[in-house]
Structure 1
C-alpha cells in the first residue's frame, strides 16, 4: 500500500510540475504582454483625450477664423476652455482660477501639458489661431481623473482577462498532462502485473507511433532479453547439474573403494588415479562453464586489430603442435597454419574487431582440440589439421578443418549446444561438450557467426566469421 502511495505521489508530482510549468509560462507571458498592452492603452487613452481637447476647442477655433468680429460665447457645462486675445486679455475662461496666472506660459507651449491645479491635475492643449495677422490661443483642458478612471477600468478588464487566460492555460496543462500520462499509467500497471506473476506477456504498445509507444517497445525488448537471459541461466544450471552428477558419482565411488580396508596397494593407487582424473574433468568442466558464462554476459567493448588476433591464433596453433609432439596417440598429425592477414599498423585505417585476442585464441584451442580428439577416436590418413585466417578489411574469417571423418549426421544439428557430445566422445570420457558452445558464444558476442561444413567419412570444417567494428579503443598488442 505504501509503495502504491509513493508511486501515485510521484505520478501526480509529474503532472503538478508540468501544469505548474504551464502556469509559470502563462504568468510570465501575461506579465510581459500586459505591460506592452498597458503601454498601448495609455497611448490610446491619451490620444483620445487629445482628440477630445481638440473637439472642445474646435468651436472657438472655427468662430475666430469664420467670424472674428463676433463676440465669443461661453463654453458649455463642464467644458474647460480659455481663450487668450493678442492683447493678453482673456474673453473666455472656464479653467480653474489657479491656472489663470500660468496661461501665457501655457499658451506658448503649443503641446499637451499636464498641470497641477491644486486639488486636481489637468491635461491642457494649446491651439494657436491666426486672425488678421494676430495670434489668438485657445486652451482646452480636462481633469486627468477622467483619463485615470478609463485606464483603471481597462486595466481591471485586462487583468481579469489575463487571469482567466492563465487559469485556462493551467487547467489545460493539467488536463493535457493527465491525458498524456494515461498510457504511462497503463504501462506501470502492466509492468507491476508482469512483475507479480510469471507470464510470457509483454507491455501494451499503443496504436499511436509516439514516444510512449517507442518506450513500450524498448521496454519489451529489454523484457525479452531479460527473459532469455533467465532462461539461459536456468538451462545452464540444469545442464550443469546433469553433467556434474555423473563425474561426482564416479568420484565418490572411487573414493569409497579406496577407503575399503581389503583393497591392495595397487588397487588403491588405481582408485586414486581414477579419482584424480575425475577431479581433473570436474575442474575442466567448471572452468569451461565459468568461461561460457563470462562470454555470454560480456559486452563487446574491446577493439582488437587483425594483427593482434593473428598473433594469438599463431600461439594457439603452436600449442596444438606442442600437444601433438608430446602425445604418442597424436603422432604423425600435421597442424598447418595459413594466414592472409595484410600487414598494417593500428591507426593506419586497419580494421578492428569487437573481440578479445585471447578469446580468438580460445576458439582455435577448442576447434583444434576437437580435431585432434577426433583423430584419436576415428583415425584417418594422412592426418592433418588446417588453420586458415583471412581478413578482407570488412570481415575476419577463421577456418579450422580436419580429415578425421567428420561428425555423425545425427549429432550435427546439436553440435553447437551446451554439453552436447557425440556417442564416440561420450563413450571415451573425453570432453565436456562445451567446446563448440564456447566458440559459438564468442562469435555471437562479437557480432559474427559460426558455420559447420560437415563431410561424413571425410572431415569437418568450422568457419567462424567476425565483422569489422568501428575503431573505438584499439588494443595494439
Structure 2
C-alpha cells in the first residue's frame, strides 16, 4: 500500500506508534539491564554474607566453623586440601579443585544440570593459605529475571497499544474540524450562496486555514461577480451603439436621396464604429490587466520620455482646439538617480497618461488647460494630471474607479473604463491613485508608483 493513500489519522497513529515502540524498547532494555545489575549485586551480597564469618574466624586464628543456613552452600578448604566445612552439592563438590583455580572471582558454574553462582576467596594464615567457597543456586535469580522480562514485555505492549489508541483518538479529535470544513465545502459546491466555511472558536492552524479559505472564497465570488457584471455592462454598452449603427445604415439605405445625405449617415455610422472600437480596446486592456501577474519596470528617464509622447498624442487628438496640454518633469539636482527602476513598464505608464488625458479632454473638449507633471520622490515617482473642467460630482467620487461608472456631468459619452484601467495598472505596480477634486475648478489625479529592484538584481 502506498503511503500517500493512507489517511492522515492513520499516519499520525502509525508514526506515533513507531516512535513509542522505539522509545519503549530502549527504555525496556535499560530497565532490564538495571534490574539484572541489581539482582546480581544482591546475589553477590548474599555470597559475601556467607563467606564473611569464615574469613573473620580464619583471620582470628580460629578453626571452629558453623554451617551456613538452608539454601546456602559453603566450603572451607585448608592449606592441605582438607575440607573443614562442606555443604556444597555433590556435583559442585567434585569441582572444588577447579573452583580454587578461580580464586578471587565470582563466576557462574553449571554442575549436575544446575547453575550456581560461586565466589572463591583466599585467606592467608600462619598455617598457610585457606580457601573459602560460597555458592548459591542461580535458578532463583534467573527466575526473577525471567519474570521481569515477561513483565516488561507485557507492559511495553500494553503501553504501545494504549498509546496507539490515544493517538487515534487525538488524531480524530484534531481532524474533526477538517471533516467539518470538508462537509461545509461540499455543501457550498452543491448549493452556491453567500455562506462561508465555519471557523472554530480556537485560534489554531485549522481556524487560520478556514479564515484563509474564506478569504479565497470571497475573492473568487467577487471575481465571479465582476466577470458577470463586466459581461452585463459590456453587453449593454455594445447593444446601444450597435442599434444606433444599424439604424443609421438602414436610414442611409432607405431614406438618403443625395450623395451628401448618404455621406453624412455613413460618417455618423463611422463615429459609432469608433466608439465600439474604443470600447472593445478598453475591454481587452482590462482583460490583460486582470490576467497580468508580474510587474514591468522602467527608468525615470524612460517614463519622462513616455510622458512627453503622451502629451503629443493628446495634442494630436485635440487638433486646433483651444485646449492646451503641457507637461513638466522635475530635473532638480537632488532628485533620485535616473538609473533607478520604477515598478511599471513604459508602455503601461503611457496607457495611464493617455487615459487620464482622455478623461480630461472628455470633460471639456472645446477649451481649457491640462497640466501633466512627473516628480521623483524618495520612494518612487509621482504622476499628476490636472485639468480645469470644473471637477467631479462629489457623490460620484466613491465610484470613480468602478468599471463602466460614468459621471454624467463630466463625461456623458464615455464608456467609464478609463479610471478603471488606470487603477488596475497602478495596483499591479503596487502604487496608489488619489483624486483631488475641487468642485467648480477642476480635478487633479495623483498616481504614485514605487521603485522596483535595482537594475541587474
Choose from 230, 238, 242 the match for 1:248: 242
2:58: which partner in 1? 64
Distance 1:74 1:344, change over 3 A: same
1:386: which partner in 2? 371
Distance 1:98 1:321, change over 3 A: same
Choose from 18, 42, 49 the match for 1:48: 42
The question of whether the paired residues in 1 share the 8 Å contact of 2:116 and 2:138 is answered with yes
SS of equivalent to 2:131: strand
TM-score in terms of structure 1 length: 0.84
SS of equivalent to 1:109: coil
**Shift of residue 141 of structure 1?**
1.9
Q: Does 1:344 align with 2:337?
A: yes
Give matches, 1:1-150, under 5 Å. Answer: 13-65=7-59, 68-70=62-64, 72-93=65-86, 94-97=88-91, 100-101=94-95, 103=97, 106-117=100-111, 119-132=113-126, 134-150=128-144
- Measured against aligned partners, the alpha-carbon deviations of 1:198-255 in whole angstroms (never above 9, x if no partner) come to 3322222222221112112211221221222122112211211111110111122233
Distance 1:412 1:162, change over 3 A: closer
1:399: which partner in 2? 384
**5+ residue gaps in structure 1?**
1-9
SS of equivalent to 1:168: helix
Find the aligned partners of 1:168 and 1:113 in 2 and give their Cα distance.
42
Residues 355-364 or 236-245, more deviating:
355-364
Distance 1:126 1:241, change over 3 A: same
Distance 1:408 1:30, change over 3 A: closer
**Shift of residue 447 of structure 1?**
3.4
SS of equivalent to 1:451: strand
Give matches, 1:384-463, under 5 Å. Answer: 384-407=369-392, 412=397, 414-423=399-408, 429=413, 431-463=414-446
The question of whether the paired residues in 2 share the 8 Å contact of 1:124 and 1:142 is answered with yes
Residues 301-310 or 18-27, more deviating:
301-310
Distance 1:74 1:419, change over 3 A: closer
Number of residue pairs the alignment of both structures matches: 451
2:198: which partner in 1? 204
Choose from 177, 181, 188 the match for 1:183: 177
Distance 1:148 1:305, change over 3 A: farther
Residues 200-209 or 24-33, more deviating:
200-209
Distance 1:345 1:107, change over 3 A: farther
Distance 1:63 1:357, change over 3 A: same
- Measured against aligned partners, the alpha-carbon deviations of 1:114-169 in whole angstroms (never above 9, x if no partner) come to 23435233321112234446332111123333322111101111111111111121
Distance 1:331 1:159, change over 3 A: same
SS of equivalent to 2:330: strand
**Shift of residue 344 of structure 1?**
1.9
Find the aligned partners of 1:320 and 1:61 in 2 and give their Cα distance.
122
Distance 1:422 1:204, change over 3 A: closer
Residues 298-307 or 38-47, more deviating:
298-307
Q: Does 1:368 align with 2:357?
A: yes
Residues 199-208 or 418-427, more deviating:
418-427
Find the aligned partners of 2:39 and 2:436 in 1 and give their Cα distance.
94
Residues 399-408 or 58-67, more deviating:
58-67
1:225: which partner in 2? 219
1:152: which partner in 2? 146
The question of whether the paired residues in 2 share the 8 Å contact of 1:57 and 1:138 is answered with yes
**Shift of residue 413 of structure 1?**
5.2
Residues 407-416 or 454-463, more deviating:
407-416
The question of whether the paired residues in 2 share the 8 Å contact of 1:85 and 1:137 is answered with yes
